[in-house]
Structure 1
Amino acid sequence: MKTRLMALGAQEVRFFFWLVAHNEKRTIAFLSRQISRMGDGPLYALIGLGLWLFEPVSGQLFFYTGLVAYALELPLYWVLKNSIKRDRPCHKMTGFEALIEPSDKFSFPSGHTAAAFVFATVLTSFYPVLLIPAYLLASLVGLSRVLLGVHYPTDILAGMVVGLTCALTALAIV
């Protein structure tokens, strides 16, 4: 079992470096930074507030559902990150530098990805026509975090699971 886990870890590191190799192109590095910034959080709050104020049919319920979802996601993400304490690739690998400075020390799960999938799931529950762009953007936020060198692919996968779980739980509660 331990040998399989080590093999999976080695495959993930190879995949990580394959993805990061694409960031040598300035355009991809620039786009990765911009997409990652979209996942910082203020954009979600601005859209939620805008819908709450100006969309009379579902805007208010969307806003409150989002608040519940993020109230679940943030503590879960924080507990997981600070319990598992997985070092970021840029802090673990000698000679490797990330394209951005991460906001904290640990990488698992990806908070940007979790927040992006919370937003996409809640948004598309109220506005299904936005399904493809919402989940595409959430996926790109996750990919951008790997391309910037601050997360491994499994950090992104875990962030996606955390985000989906918290959003679906919030939808069930509200």
Structure 2
Amino acid sequence: MGPDTRDRGRSGTSVKARILVNADCPVSALLSLDASLFYWINALPHPALLNAFFVWLSRATAFPGTLWILLGLVVAWRSGARRRGLVRLVWALTLASILSTYVFKPLLDRPRPFRTTTAVTVVGFAPGDNSFPSGHATSAAAGAYALTLIAPELRAASWVVAALVGLGRVYLGVHYPLDVAGGWLLGVFVAVFVTAGVRCDRREDRRKS
């Protein structure tokens, strides 16, 4: 599962992306910083073991969020609130995936880095859809937030996993850092909306016990 270094021209760059990159404004500076950070992370050494880890992590956290659901199942048996929280976790993952894949990616139309930049190290599967926001990062943030509400003891581990998912998408050459940051924000927003009743459920269960 070795890296695939691709040298591609900028012919596939969308009109929207050209306007943003060429504009003399803060957006242009932000995109320039984004590209520089992408190159720095993507140019790191790519040993086979690390490649395999990030590919596995991407697959485990992609929709339907198998890793998050399995972790939720492990802790859901403890109380009714946690079982209800698990349902909300699944809803958060589903809504996050729908919004990132079918709403924001087509709307914002940002190409993947290996389609617009040169000498990109791509490991594993190279997706054919747009880049912003990262669907994996969106699901990871939604999963981490929702899981933290039903299992506060997993807070640190959940967010470490979410951070590694985001780092992995840049390391694998399929997303810019800004795609990941946008995905995290979208995922948290979705999870906050979907899981609004989890804390109330927990307090109600404690009163009944």
TM-score range, shorter chain: 0.7 to 0.9
Percentage identity across paired residues of the two chains: 30
Distance 1:45 1:129 in 2: 16
Aligned residues: 173
Would the aligned equivalents of 2:88 and 2:146 in 1 still touch at CA under 8 Å? yes
Would the aligned equivalents of 2:58 and 2:169 in 1 still touch at CA under 8 Å? yes
Question: 1:28-86 deviations in whole A, cap 9, x for unaligned?
Answer: 3233223222212222233334544x333433112221133234322221200111111
- For residue 58 of structure 1, what is the amino acid of its counterpart? A
TM-score by length of 1: 0.87
1:159 counterpart (170, 177, 183): 183
Unaligned runs of 5+ residues in structure 1 are none
Report which of the two has the higher share of helix.
1
What is residue 22 of structure 1 aligned with on the other side?
Answer: 44
Note the C-alpha offset of 1:119: 0.9
Distance 2:133 2:164 in 1: 16
What is residue 73 of structure 1 aligned with on the other side?
Answer: 96
TM-score by length of 2: 0.74
1:61 counterpart (84, 94, 99): 84
Greater shift in the superposed pair: 125-134 or 65-74:
65-74
What is residue 90 of structure 1 aligned with on the other side?
Answer: 114
Greater shift in the superposed pair: 35-44 or 111-120:
35-44
What is residue 17 of structure 2 aligned with on the other side?
Answer: none
| Over 4 Å off, 4+ runs | 49-52
Unaligned runs of 5+ residues in structure 2 are 1-19, 199-209
Distance 1:154 1:117 in 2: 14
Question: 1:122-146 deviations in whole A, cap 9, x for unaligned?
Answer: 1111211111110010010010000
Distance 2:94 2:155 in 1: 23
Q: Rg larger in 1 or in 2?
A: 2
Distance 1:45 1:153 in 2: 26
Q: Against the structure 1 CA distance between its residues 33 and 67, is the aligned structure 2 distance closer, same or farther, given a 3 Å change threshold?
A: closer
